[in-house]
Structure 1
């Protein structure tokens, strides 16, 4: 019969009574509930800072912590006693792994399954047993099975052997504390109790108090998030309001606490402090002697690791035009006024802005804390356990405008440009990243994502696609500010600025003036030679402002430049330019002017020789093609007297062509010889120039 049937028939209740020396008595121990949470600081790296304040009495104080948070608490727990006393010790139960605990249990307890096996494990154990008729006190001798019936043999305290049916048992109490504790530990391991049972951390004080305590620690919590709304109107600052979403999953209510939300991510990590860490030691058993040796003869010696909304203003004008003709009708004005009275009337722009400003009054003040930015609540905050709260953190005007945004030349977005000014004292200055909902001229326009924005920074938030503007870019390159640095031993050192010129053209198909920003990336090692008006720079990226009229084209020129220092050859055009500019400058002295002028004259003569080769090369190419054509025609003529006259004429033309080709080739050879001589002369003249 299975053990479940034994429990069903007899209604056996197995009570395991243990006395653990590590358990705390209720007397003299203060509970953590007496210290309510007074302050919570939430960070964006997954941890929260908690403070508890209160007055307790007694020499001991207990805090219950979830097992998944015990390591963070042990890593950061701080106890401050304002009354002058001090904590003498902090204790907590040791957590050991299930495998290690299981290995420490006797194999009989570890492997026991069901009632019969447990009773067999309990052989020799002192127990108290209650049956239908009477109670017994004695030691378990063993269990026997006779078919489907199991019988328990018991040696009573009167030294009598009693046999009982297990189905008659009503209660069994284990009097052996070691076995009861081992059985309870085995059950804890089976249900993995350590994963959910709270861990009790006990603080002991030097006296009985009372103690005025401030206890602080960090633990893992959900990160707080921010969400924003922005109202954009023509020729007015942008009204921005923001909320922080806070989740309380700590296991207890936050009532009337001081709540702070810190921006940024301070460093934090996980580290195992609760579970003992065992170091595997090397085994040296192989060094043990294997056999005894006979004693030697005695001798003396010595030890050796984001679509555009319709223009509301235009829509309003169309509606006004339709209504203008109706106002003359009888009863229209009165009906309209009654309707407006019934729904509260029209909202003017000033009323709408005033309502927006009042709708989300901030409950926090901002301050800089090292590299972090903190939003601190100005009044107590309550967040029930298991709930989330929306807390207003931002409500202010910002510099901004509705613009067109080109992150690439092929895509055009409508976007809002936002600039975070330095906030007033006590208000939020840094804006954390989060989703943002845009309202343009009082109408929903789209959604975007606001990056983290510190004071003085500018961000573009795209909220819809709009192809009514297009952009075209033309690029070119030019060298400028060429300067002769040094000439020595025939080597010329030149410095100049290499300029990359970007011509940005924006074409508008709108009936209104527009402002566009085109995103560009600065090349490595370059700087902007001239910064266009309204240009916004973010690292290597910069956003060029282009103003476009209705159905017009606007253009802006951006010039990047980078300094270049190089060594050029005598025949380089850069060398010639640098030397000419040097002669025009005030740094040219008489000692270098003569050799430089002689070099420039020889260089000019070399250029004339090279230029004279160009027409000769073209003539030679044409003559070679004509000779090839004549030879092909001669080859195609038939043999005989019929084509004799034509063959004679073609042969004459080929002879003239070859004569002209020979003369041109001769002239080219003569010029090539002169070019080589000029090159040698230039090298010699350059060696005579010395400039340092």
Structure 2
């Protein structure tokens, strides 16, 4: 019968008729309420037992409890946390009970909710926006000139020019256009003091829309209800766990230096934890994780609506009247006029057929299912893909677990001791010439022998019973060395002097070039005065480490970083003028053309054993061959200069010949001289050809000698 009523109701709605349903009576409501138990507070049935806070800004919360029978348990969360709950909630019944749906109040998008009112104020931010929404509605306006009663026609902008200053100002002002008994009037928006909507129902819709907007902003908490069912009075263990955003827990440290010689420093660590939730943490087991698991947010709370394509209604082509004419042209005209309608009909039919084909194809492979049949089963697991991976530990994570149960009231914070242990360490003075000009820093060189990982945080240093200064400790693994500075050492004065020197080491020949090996030496002298005659210092000098330079003295530093060498030495109390030297060297090679080498310099280096005789002989031979080339080039330049002079003289003679009589003696003299010059030019051309060939041959012999020449 229920199935029949459901089917009938579906048919009535599908046919477009209104279906009237009798209202539920108070007795029926009471019966339904008796069937479903009232929601109970989780603080009683599932108290908070375990909390793990992560450095990634989230917290893991675990609730445990024992129940019997059927219960609905309510958990309250801030609205901003609901997405995290929907993404991470785990609900387990460990003793065979069943878990029904987890229910919560739906969240309709605010814009969609506001669009459902008679006036959509989702995009209203001014009177102009509101008046556009009231187009066609009656309004009562109160203006500076009096009352205006009319119907809103629209909004228009008018431009006016204001003069009186140096530059005219153009103003654009909106006007409300209304129809009144007097006709169409335009009222400046700035002249309207107040207005009322004539339609009381529409005015009430506006009030409701504003109320919905205020409600959305004031809705701070949401309730999630979990329904659990079990047999009779059997006690069952229930676990509910979830993850949501939490403040990052922080660390701070204290380091106490001993008064007596040989004593070990004591390191104390504190965790700063904030309970920003609305629930008290009573006797919970608290874990503090240093790892940063992957985390993200996703809006699962707000409903998502997917747009659907708009398909036109299939319509058959209408049948038009037939007009019988005797002319053949009229028949052809009628046929041509019908063609577009036929094409339109075919296009619509094609669209409908395509939609039908899409529907049929999208249903292939599905079995027919009666959704009203309660005995129908769905095998979701059978359709799920098989697992493609096995669980494994990824990355490293260190966990601090507070031994004693922790109690922190809601909206309260606490400092929890997580570390108290002696560590290996000693007082030092640290000098870095790039960071300090005169005084080194007081500091501590210690090894993390506490057995725990140390997370970054501030560190307060106490020297005996006195506060000494602050430092900052980076991430420090077990047994890792750290150097911390906390104050200026005013009893120590440091000075630095840097000297540079270079020495030629050797000359060789490689690939026809002379390679000059030069050693550059940089010597840095650190000098200090220790005016504290009561205590020696362990001085650590941080010397800049430059790429390409190697350490010569001392042979080995105390420690090496990417940019520094650290040297450790003793600064005795009361002594001044003590020095510490750091020598570095860099060997560079200069390549010089053999014909450009300074031979006297080479001979002087040979006297010191830095150049072999074979190198000197090769340089001499190359320079001799180069000298031959240069001699020929000089001869060639002399001949070419003579040729250029003849050319200039011939231009002068030809210019003069154009001004004298051809039968004169001077003209004949010019002709004789030109003939002699032409004979000399022929001789010069032959000489140039010979010299160019000789020069190229000499240069070729030099190149052949230098090509691939290697001499040690």
Return the TM-score normalized by structure 2: 0.52
Counterpart in the other structure of 2:66: 55
CA–CA distance in 2 between the matches of 1:537 and 1:38? 48
Counterpart in the other structure of 1:372: 397
CA–CA distance in 2 between the matches of 1:431 and 1:683? 68
Secondary structure in 1 matching 2:431: strand
Secondary structure in 2 matching 1:372: coil
CA–CA distance in 1 between the matches of 2:63 and 2:617? 90
Cα pair distance change 1:572/1:460, threshold 3 Å: farther
Give matches, 1:255-654, under 5 Å: 255-263=282-290, 265-277=292-304, 295-296=338-339, 370-407=395-432, 408-410=435-437, 412-423=439-450, 427-428=451-452, 430-476=453-499, 487-488=510-511, 490-491=512-513, 500-511=522-533, 512-524=535-547, 528=551, 535-549=558-572, 550-559=574-583, 569-570=593-594, 595-596=614-615, 598-599=617-618
Alpha-carbon contact 1:403-1:415 (below 8 Å) kept: yes
What is the CA distance between 1:41 and its match in structure 2? Answer: 1.3
Counterpart in the other structure of 1:154: none
Cα pair distance change 1:219/1:528, threshold 3 Å: farther
Residue among 117, 124, 127 paired with 1:105: 117
Secondary structure in 2 matching 1:412: coil
Give matches, 1:235-274, under 5 Å: 235-263=262-290, 265-274=292-301
Give matches, 1:5-20, under 5 Å: none
What is the CA distance between 1:487 and its match in structure 2? Answer: 2.6
Alpha-carbon contact 2:560-2:566 (below 8 Å) kept: yes
What is the CA distance between 1:502 and its match in structure 2? Answer: 3.7
What is the CA distance between 1:54 and its match in structure 2? Answer: 1.8
Does residue 192 in structure 1 map to residue 241 in structure 2? Answer: no
Cα pair distance change 1:23/1:182, threshold 3 Å: farther
Counterpart in the other structure of 2:239: 214
Residue among 42, 48, 51 paired with 1:32: 42
CA–CA distance in 2 between the matches of 1:184 and 1:46? 39
Cα pair distance change 1:301/1:28, threshold 3 Å: closer
What is the CA distance between 1:94 and its match in structure 2? Answer: 2.6
Counterpart in the other structure of 2:378: none
What is the CA distance between 1:254 and its match in structure 2? Answer: 1.5
Q: How far does the alpha carbon of each residue in 1:19-69 deviate from its partner, in whole angstroms, 9 at most, with x for none?
A: 9xx999860755422111111112233221211122334265443221121
Alpha-carbon contact 1:599-1:685 (below 8 Å) kept: no
What is the CA distance between 1:296 and its match in structure 2? Answer: 0.6
What is the CA distance between 1:527 and its match in structure 2? Answer: 6.0
Alpha-carbon contact 2:543-2:566 (below 8 Å) kept: yes
What is the CA distance between 1:229 and its match in structure 2? Answer: 2.0
Counterpart in the other structure of 1:225: 250
Secondary structure in 1 matching 2:95: coil
Q: How far does the alpha carbon of each residue in 1:76-105 deviate from its partner, in whole angstroms, 9 at most, with x for none?
A: 222333224564544433323333211123
Q: How far does the alpha carbon of each residue in 1:605-651 deviate from its partner, in whole angstroms, 9 at most, with x for none?
A: 99xxxxxxxxxxxxxxxxxxxxxxxxxxxxxxxxxxxxxxxxxxxxx
Q: How far does the alpha carbon of each residue in 1:244-303 deviate from its partner, in whole angstroms, 9 at most, with x for none?
A: 222222211222221112235444343322223457899999xxxxxx996417699998
Does residue 80 in structure 1 map to residue 92 in structure 2? Answer: yes
Cα pair distance change 1:74/1:296, threshold 3 Å: same
Cα pair distance change 1:51/1:441, threshold 3 Å: same
Alpha-carbon contact 2:274-2:413 (below 8 Å) kept: yes
Return the TM-score normalized by structure 1: 0.53
CA–CA distance in 2 between the matches of 1:59 and 1:85? 11
What is the CA distance between 1:398 and its match in structure 2? Answer: 1.4
Secondary structure in 1 matching 2:111: helix
Counterpart in the other structure of 2:174: none
CA–CA distance in 2 between the matches of 1:555 and 1:42? 52
CA–CA distance in 1 between the matches of 2:478 and 2:706? 58
CA–CA distance in 1 between the matches of 2:521 and 2:501? 5
What is the CA distance between 1:189 and its match in structure 2? Answer: 3.1
What is the CA distance between 1:75 and its match in structure 2? Answer: 2.5
Secondary structure in 1 matching 2:439: strand
Secondary structure in 2 matching 1:74: helix
CA–CA distance in 2 between the matches of 1:447 and 1:437? 5
CA–CA distance in 1 between the matches of 2:554 and 2:394? 35
Q: How far does the alpha carbon of each residue in 1:111-131 deviate from its partner, in whole angstroms, 9 at most, with x for none?
A: xxxxxxxxxxxxxxxxxxxxx
Counterpart in the other structure of 2:13: none
CA–CA distance in 2 between the matches of 1:200 and 1:475? 72
Secondary structure in 2 matching 1:187: helix
Cα pair distance change 1:49/1:220, threshold 3 Å: same
Q: Name stretches of at least 5 consecutive residues in structure 1 with no aligned partner.
A: 1-16, 111-179, 286-291, 305-367, 607-678
Secondary structure in 2 matching 1:296: helix
CA–CA distance in 1 between the matches of 2:34 and 2:457? 48
CA–CA distance in 2 between the matches of 1:197 and 1:500? 69
Q: Number of residues paired by the alignment? A: 452
Cα pair distance change 1:267/1:684, threshold 3 Å: same
Q: How far does the alpha carbon of each residue in 1:436-478 deviate from its partner, in whole angstroms, 9 at most, with x for none?
A: 2222233222333333322243333333223322223333556
Alpha-carbon contact 1:30-1:56 (below 8 Å) kept: no
Alpha-carbon contact 1:243-1:392 (below 8 Å) kept: yes
What is the CA distance between 1:196 and its match in structure 2? Answer: 0.9
CA–CA distance in 2 between the matches of 1:542 and 1:554? 20
Alpha-carbon contact 1:413-1:462 (below 8 Å) kept: no
CA–CA distance in 1 between the matches of 2:302 and 2:515? 70
CA–CA distance in 2 between the matches of 1:23 and 1:557? 90
